[in-house]
């Protein structure tokens, strides 16, 4: 099957950087932007230039160094925002302005105190204005997740008419169920006038832990861009995690979808973002967490030692992790102990292993994890005639 491409729009430096405590300076942003380009992302959302002089300078600096990816800047549907974004993107080889407005009844009433017609008008005006600066304009219908589909299709049709090249359908509050979000995208592919001239984009937040599932439902139903961040960082519970959607598409080739991402750089990129932002990655985080390829129960360890595929669906080297880890704990079995002992230089006979294993269990019950130094000591006190 010929895989269709899903564009990866990385917003680590915009939606991700909005997280309290994650602020980066321009130098740090440049390092990450270069790495994102190496990773193979199609679009780098570099910032929101009107928000501060620092953000303006970062978007400008990133525009100067990025060679292949599109560099994108966020704006509200406000003329000044668009002018400032265009200025910050002046040096970009492939500039994109990302403009938009809230479309849910709640946003229309409480944020804008406007009517649906006025919202459409403001959206179209902003897009038309942005098109006077750049050819590539992405429109976001903020809170599209809670916007009724018929009105959303109307807004999107007008956005395309005004010149939008990409339609971003954000589930801003992380409210949708995957079936619901997928159906929304399908409805738009069938009801938006001129949809063949635009790409639909998924931008899903993780308030109910469904961001990744929703983005995948979106591309299965016709979207061809996913907006995501490294490690899933972003407002509140975060955004769709880049590493997750990339590996889901790769592990399920029957979907017929793939990205340009060099997955071997995923782990390193996750470390870089985590360290630069001082944002710890939870150990059980899919793909890049410290335990993502670590096995600690005896049954699993025995299986993995016999054949990695018994308990792993991804080869760790495919995402840049050197090897699976066999972690020794009180739940580990003889196979794991023998495996570790061999790694550090002891070839134990079955009888020796039985004796050492009894000592090991006493030790492991007192410690969370048994490390190499402990194994040396356990073998020594087991008195099995091996000289240390
Ligand atoms: O979550 C959201 O709706 C956004 C838009 C500004 C694209 O981040
Ligand atoms: Zn967002």
User: Tokens for 385?
Assistant: 């005639």
Compute, in angstroms, the gap from residue 14 CA to the centroid of ligand 1.
10
pLDDT at site 385: 76
pLDDT at site 2: 63
Ligand 2 is an ion; its neighbours by CB within 5 Å are: 15
Q: Which pTM does this prediction carry? A: 0.95
pLDDT at site 388: 58
Taking the C-alpha atoms of residue 88 and residue 56, their distance in angstroms, rounded to an integer, is 6
Q: 10 CB under 6 A from ligand 1?
A: no
Compute, in angstroms, the gap from residue 238 CA to the centroid of ligand 2.
8
* pLDDT average per 10 residues of sequence, the chain (388 residues): 87 95 94 98 98 97 98 98 98 98 97 97 98 98 98 98 98 98 98 98 98 98 98 96 98 98 98 96 97 95 95 97 95 96 96 97 95 96 78
Taking the C-alpha atoms of residue 162 and residue 165, their distance in angstroms, rounded to an integer, is 10
- Is the separation of the CB atoms in 12 and 36 below 8 Å? yes
Measured CA to CA in angstroms, residue 254 lies from 4, 82, 109, 226, 313 at distances of 11, 41, 43, 19, 15
Compute, in angstroms, the gap from residue 324 CA to the centroid of ligand 1.
37
pLDDT at site 131: 98
Residue ranges matching CATH 3.20.20.70 in the chain: 4-277
Measured CA to CA in angstroms, residue 374 lies from 291, 300, 301, 381 at distances of 21, 22, 19, 11
Give 351's contacts (C-beta < 8 A, 6+ positions apart): none
- Is the separation of the CB atoms in 105 and 129 below 8 Å? no
Long-range CB pairs of 359-363 (<8 Å, 24+ gap) are 360/328, 360/332, 361/330
Q: 142 CB under 6 A from ligand 1?
A: yes
CATH says 4-277 is which class?
alpha beta
pLDDT at site 177: 98
């Amino acid at each position: 099957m010929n895989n269709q491409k899903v564009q990866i729009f990385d917003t680590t430096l915009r939606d991700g950087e909005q997280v309290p405590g994650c602020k980066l300076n321009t130098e740090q942003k440049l390092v990450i932007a270069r790495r994102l380009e190496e990773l193979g992302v199609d679009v780098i959302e570099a910032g929101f230039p009107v928000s501060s002089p620092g953000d303006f300078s970062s978007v400008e600096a990133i525009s100067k160094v990025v060679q292949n990816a599109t560099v994108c800047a966020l704006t509200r549907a406000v003329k000044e925002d668009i002018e400032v974004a265009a200025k910050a993107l002046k040096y970009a080889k492939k500039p994109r302005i990302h403009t938009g407005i809230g479309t849910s009844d709640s946003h229309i009433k409480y944020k804008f105190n406007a009517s649906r017609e006025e919202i459409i008008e403001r959206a179209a005006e902003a897009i038309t204005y942005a098109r006077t600066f750049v050819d590539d304009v992405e429109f976001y219908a903020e809170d599209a997740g809670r916007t009724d589909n018929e009105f959303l299709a109307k807004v999107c049709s007008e956005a395309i008419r005004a010149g939008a090249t990409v339609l971003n359908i954000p589930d801003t509050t992380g409210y949708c169920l995957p079936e619901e979000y997928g159906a929304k995208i399908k409805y738009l592919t069938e009801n938006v006038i001129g949809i063949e001239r635009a790409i639909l984009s998924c931008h899903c937040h993780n308030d109910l832990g469904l961001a990744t599932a929703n983005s995948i439902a979106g591309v299965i139903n016709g979207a061809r861009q996913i907006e995501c961040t490294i490690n899933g960082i972003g407002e509140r519970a975060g955004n769709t995690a880049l590493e997750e959607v990339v590996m889901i598409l790769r592990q399920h080739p029957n979907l017929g979808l793939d990205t340009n991402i060099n997955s071997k750089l995923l782990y390193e990129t996750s470390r870089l973002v985590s360290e630069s932002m001082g944002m710890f990655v939870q150990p059980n985080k899919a793909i890049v967490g410290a335990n993502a390829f670590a096995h600690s129960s005896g049954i699993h360890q025995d299986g993995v030692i016999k054949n990695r595929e018994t308990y792993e669906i991804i080869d760790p080297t495919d995402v840049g992790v050197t090897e699976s880890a066999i972690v020794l704990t009180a739940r580990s079995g003889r196979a794991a102990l023998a495996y570790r002992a061999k790694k550090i230089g002891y070839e134990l006979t079955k009888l020796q292993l039985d004796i050492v294993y009894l000592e090991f269990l006493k030790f492991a019950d007192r410690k969370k994890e048994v490390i190499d130094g402990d194994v040396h000591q356990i073998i020594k006190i087991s008195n099995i005639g091996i000289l240390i």
